[in-house]
Structures are given as C-alpha cells and as structure tokens.
Structure 1
Amino acid sequence: MPPESLQVVALGLIQGATELLPVSSSAHIAAIPQLLGWSVASWPDERRKELEVALHAGALLALSPSLWRVRPDLRTLVLSLAPPVIVGYALEKPIEARLGGPRGLAAGLLFGAAALATADRAGGATSDSRGATLSRGTPGLALGAAQACALFPGVSRTGATLAAARALGYDRAGASRLSFGVAGPVLAGATALKAWRGRRDADLRLVATGAGAAFAGTAVALKLLGLERRRPLWPYAAERVALAGGILALRYRRAP
C-alpha cells in the first residue's frame, strides 16, 4: 500500500483527468481507494470531505480560464443554476443519507451511463450558430434539471449536462462546451459551500497536497484532452458500468 501522501497525490491526478470526462470524478475518488484497499478509504468523514473539497478546488482553479471562455449567455446560466440550487437546498442531506453508500453510487453510475449512451445515440448535429440561438431559450432549464440530477452520487454533472445537450440536438463539441459552460458556477458554489462547512482546524498539508495534485492533473488533462468531446460517448458509459460492477462486486463480497 502506498503512503497516504502518495494516495492523495494519485487521487488528485485522477480527479484532474476525470473532471473533464463524463464519468463522475466524485465516484472515482470514492470508489478507487475502496477497490485498491487504500487507507484513505478508512479515513473519518471529516478528513475525506476535506480531501474532496481540496481536489475540487484544485481542479476548478485549473479549469477556470477555460470555463470562462465557454460560458453561455446570462439567461442560460441563471436557468441552469436554479434547479440544482433549489434541489440541493431541499434534498442534499436526505440524498447523502440514503444514497451515499456503494449501492447508491453504483446506481448513479449506471443511470448516468444509460442516459449518456441513449442521448448520444439519438442526438443530432446542431450547428454552432443554431446552438447559440437555442442556448438563449429553454435549454437552460433542461441543463439545470440535469445538474439537479447530478446531486445524486455517481450521476456526474458533466455526464448529465452532456447527455441533456446531446438530447437537445447539439453536436458533441457544442454539447461539451455548453456542459462545461453551465457547470462552472455550480462547481464553484458547491466547492465554496463545502469549504465553509468544513473544520476550522483542517489538515493544511492534506488540503495543499490534494489541491496541488488536482490542479496539476487537470492542467495536463486540459492539454491532452481539451474540453470538447468529439467522438462517440459510449466508451465513457462502458467505463461507468465497469466501475459500478467493481463497486457492487466489492460490496457483496464483503457482505456477511
């Protein structure tokens, strides 16, 4: 088993790569330590939440310039922000309490995989000019509903909004830009809220190590992958199914 500092660095690099893909970075951060038997998996809730906040903060910092360049119009941003804020305020704690375990995480991964593959198969090829017009109308609410669904563990904000944009007829590149454009404010708000709720005596070395690794991982992933997904999305759906299978296999192997 690698030292905990290396585990944190590895998770930061994983966060950086998966933040750009519709596979649920949070699900990977939660599941991989369990699957590999790392000690991070047995940390108290407070420490794991500190690490999660640090990873998201590092990734957001690296993504911010790119997210600013792809932001949609103000109306779309407002409409896409309202549903996750309302649902999060009303249901965040019940969702965490009832769906935060392995089965809930696997179910979210599978649901997101089905939505992503189905929407990509049925999605059209809306041109950029028409997409810009569409983005000022009802797609904001559809994207907001997708972001609200992403509050369920394993669904993935990127995956849900990418599926919604493809279902609305955007081509893959346009859907990717729209997905990241509306996700920025929600990601920033959620990260700030979790940091504010965290312990005042947080482990600063852990926070710095996790944030730095996530920043580096995201910066490298941006160089290699960019924001736009242009190829079929089914491989991401397949990876989600594989991760869900691993989670369930571990869960029931340990069951008495």
Structure 2
Amino acid sequence: MSILEVVVLALIQGLTEFLPISSSAHLILPSVLLGWQDQGLAFDLMLNIGTLSAVLIYFYREVSNMSVAWVDSVKNKKHSQDSKLAWWIIWSTIPAAAIGFLGKDYIEVYLRSGYVIAITTVVFGLLLWWADVKATQVKTEYQTGLKGAIILGFAQALALIPGTSRSGITITAALMLGLTRNAAARFSFLMSIPIIAMASGYDLLKFVLSDEYVDWPSLVLGAGVSFISAILCIHVFLILLNKVGMLPFVIYRLLLGAALFYVLAS
C-alpha cells in the first residue's frame, strides 16, 4: 500500500470507530471510488490495536477503577458503582460475541453488499435522530442496570450488520434507556474495549495461521495514525456532544447514504 492509502484508511478507522457514522460505510468508499484493494489481515490487526490503545488510554482511570473493583467483587463479594459497571460491560459484550461467532459467515456472505450498507446508514441514522429527540437524559452510565446493559449488548450485536455503526446503535439504545448523551457515549466507548480486543485476537489468530507478507513500516504508520485520530476523536466528541447533539451526525449519515446509493447506481 502507498503512504496515502495507509493514512486514509487509518484515519477512517480511528474516526469512524467511535463516531456514530458507520466505519463500514466509509471503508467501502475507497474501494468503490478509487479501486483500492483489501489491506490484509496484518493491517486490520494493527488498526484495531491503535484504536484499542486509544480508548484504553483515554479511559485509563475508569478502566483501572473498574478492574480493581471487579476483582474485589469476585474475591470478597463487595460491590461498588465501579464493580457493577464492570459487570454490566461484561454482560453487554456477550450478545455481540455470541451472535458474531455464530453468524459471522452468514453476515460475510449475505450482508456485506453496498446497498445493505447504504440502507442501514440511512435507517439507523434516522433512528439515532429519533432517540436523541425523545431522550429524557436523566441517567448516568452508573445507572444503566443489568437489564439496560443486556439491551445495549443486543444493540451492539446489531452493529454486526454493516453500515449500522457500533457506536451509533449503542448510543441510540442508551438514549432510549434514559442515559444522558455524555453517559451514553461513555458507556458505548467502554463497551468497545472487549469487542475491539476480541476482534484483535481473532485477527491475530488468522494472521498467525496465514503466510501473509508483513510491511512493518506501513503497519506501524497505520497503527499510529489510527491511535492519534481515535484519541482526538473521543476527546472532541465528548466535548461537543452536549453542545451540538446528534443532529449533525444524523445529517452526515443521510448525506453519506445518499452518496452511496448514487455511487452504487452509477
């Protein structure tokens, strides 16, 4: 891959992993418009490592507190807000992990078309707008509850359908559950940690079993760009969220969906 391809794809990964605008909808554009080839397992793995590192570092204090509290809840049966949040994150991961494991082949074969991505980009964009308008915004992430966490887990499983957007659908569901915009985004970002880690582990296993050529300079550059863009994206998104709401992202999704329909029909 050229340096331009590496930087563009890494930026797409870093920005769209956490913004509610669908990474798959963006990743289809370079291949459709520019004829770029698939970047390979090793590159996917390094991009995931970059975004995973970004969310872990940005939420280092929360992750550290939850980890300590979770261990205490297991060893000493003592529960706190942080231990409950950690358990909710674990429970919210199960639906996507199970459905992804069982349905990955079906999704790869039947749901990766450009039209599916265009449709889900628009439909789930409108759903995000509706949830934002109707949201009561009274709960923090520490008030999600086990039932809410499981609901968010199934919402995250919907993101296996290309074009849905993992952050978009989980923030949508969290708003419907009454979380504030900031709490919805924070819970969504924390939910991403085990999912991205599992995706990285899966890519690592496939890479180890493959004989793919490794272009280390491109991999390191890609990981660095995805890390920097992701951590800046998280920071700016959380600052702007209460000021601008979800409408700008909804409008962007509608325009992107329309552009995909136009490109695919041309």
TM range (shorter): 0.7 to 0.9
- For 2:186 and 2:9, the matched residues in 1 are separated by 25
Q: Which residue of structure 1 lines up, in the alignment, with residue 58 of structure 2?
A: 66
Q: 1:227 to 1:66 in 2, by over 3 A?
A: farther
* 1:120 counterpart = 2:118: no
Match of 2:11 among 5, 13, 16: 13
Q: 1:223 to 1:85 in 2, by over 3 A?
A: closer
Match of 1:98 among 110, 116, 120: 110
Q: Which residue of structure 1 lines up, in the alignment, with residue 215 of structure 2?
A: 204
**What value does the CA root-mean-square deviation take over the aligned residues?**
2.2
Q: Which residue of structure 2 lines up, in the alignment, with residue 56 of structure 1?
A: 48
1:166–1:172 contact (8 Å) kept in structure 2: yes
2:19–2:237 contact (8 Å) kept in structure 1: no
Amino acid aligned to 2:162: P
2:10–2:225 contact (8 Å) kept in structure 1: yes
Shift of residue 17 of structure 1? 2.3
Superposed counterparts of 1:1-256, under 5 Å: 4-35=2-33, 37=34, 39-40=35-36, 43=37, 45=38, 47-70=39-62, 73-128=85-140, 131-132=141-142, 134-198=143-207, 199-205=210-216, 206-226=218-238, 229-230=241-242, 231-253=244-266
Shift of residue 220 of structure 1? 3.3
- For 1:17 and 1:31, the matched residues in 2 are separated by 15
TM-superposition CA deviations, 1:184-211 (whole Å, max 9, x none) = 1111111221232133434333322321
Count of aligned pairs between the two proteins: 242
1:173–1:228 contact (8 Å) kept in structure 2: no
Q: 1:218 to 1:78 in 2, by over 3 A?
A: closer
Other structure's SS at 1:85 match: helix
- TM-score where L is the length of structure 2: 0.82
- TM-score where L is the length of structure 1: 0.85
* Runs (5+) with no aligned partner, structure 1: none
Amino acid aligned to 2:29: A
Sequence identity of aligned pairs in percent?
A: 27
